[in-house]
Amino acid sequence: MTHETYLATRRFPALDGVRAIAAVLVVVFHFGGAAWVRANGWIGVHVFFVLSGFLITTLALREEDRAGRVSLKNFYLRRAFRILPVYYVVLGIFVVVTAARGELRSSGLFGALPWFATFLNEFHVVGVFGVAWTLGVEQKFYLVWPLLAFGVAGLGFLKRIGLSAGLVVALVALVPVLPYSGAYASIVIGCTVAIVLHHRKGFAVLKPFTHPVAGLVVAAVIVVVQVFFTDLTVALHDDGGVAVGTAYAVLVALLLPSLVAGGPLSRVLSLKPLQFIGERSYSLYLIQSIAGWTLAGLVPHLAHPRTLTAVGVTAVALLMADLLCRWVELPMIALGRRVTAKRPEPAPVKEPVPA
């Protein structure tokens, strides 16, 4: 793949496959039981973080090339229509279901609602809808990153790289004080790869990773790190897995060039079933606990974590996610596009004429 081909590519279907695997890993982590402990499915959320940073920054960089600068208003509107409707619908479902079960207060959900409603989830995590902490992280990232990276005119490649690299170092260093700063670091790592690939010289540096063999090697290393995550943290005396977790995020980021360039791994991850799941992964991730309660009510012997339970919950959650995708996500995304289409794009910034 050439740099020109990369810039001309408008969609990366293999990333939907990565999303699908990450979402299923999280479900298996919650519902698969002891047999799946070694899979460390919780790491799936960090895959989402890296992908999110990469895609958001790539879209912004391309808008900047096209229009001269990034419209922050349009950016925030698009993210609001993409994230908020499904989130609040699922939050409402949790309130209704826990109230019907007589557990609205005892579950802690009622007391947590102000935190959940304002996306401060990671500061008040409760078991019911506990996965929503990641949305708190991402929403605050979406608020701050565009201002830092695109709110200042004339911020070029080197300054953006310095900004993103500096943020990663600072966020990792803050983990002992602010545990969730490691999640922000994973997002910024994805942003950094987007910045590098977008620049011609940066693309040349990462071009070896676009080779299919490089992609397979990086993917294999990711699997090894994931499976042996606990062992590695113990062997390296890595308290809290900060170093290993950051290395894992970097590996996921280095896998991206091969996935956007194509090849055997990219073709497998672009298969229609994986794309189908990946396109619904956001809703699937949010609705998984409701799916678990539903399955346990319909089939009581699947109320306990095990492999069959994880398979059943994934299937039920995917059905629910499909409905949410069709009835909420896609219509609201389309509405967001119509709203931003009515707003004129910023005029290109003219370069000063040399004296």
Q: What confidence tens digit (pLDDT) does each residue in 2-61 have?
A: 999 999 998 899 999 999 999 999 999 999 999 999 999 999 999 999 999 999 999 999
For the segment 230-258, the average pLDDT, to the nearest whole number, is: 94
Give the range among 106-115, 122-131, 132-141, 285-294 with minimum mean pLDDT. 122-131
Distance separating alpha carbons of residues 247 and 222, to the nearest angstrom? 9
Residue at token pair 């096209």:
66
**What is the amino acid identity at position 234?**
V
pLDDT score, position 350:
40
Whole-structure pTM value: 0.92
Residues 68 and 157 sit within 8 Å (Cβ to Cβ): no
Query: Phi/psi of residue 119, each to 5°?
Result: 60, 40
Tens-place pLDDT, residues 337-352: 999 887 655 544 443 3
Listing DSSP states for 215-279 in one string gives HHHHHHHHHHHHHTHHHHHHHTT-GGGHHHHHHHHHHHHHHHHHHHH-SHHHHHHTSHHHHHHHH
Closest CA to 168 of 144, 187, 155: 187
pLDDT score, position 198:
95
Residues 257 and 206 sit within 8 Å (Cβ to Cβ): yes
pLDDT score, position 112:
93
Distance separating alpha carbons of residues 15 and 269, to the nearest angstrom? 7
- Is the pLDDT at 353 greater than 60, yes or no? no
pLDDT score, position 43:
93
Distance separating alpha carbons of residues 43 and 34, to the nearest angstrom? 16
HSE, side-chain direction, 13 A CA sphere, residue 184: 26
Residues 285 and 30 sit within 8 Å (Cβ to Cβ): no
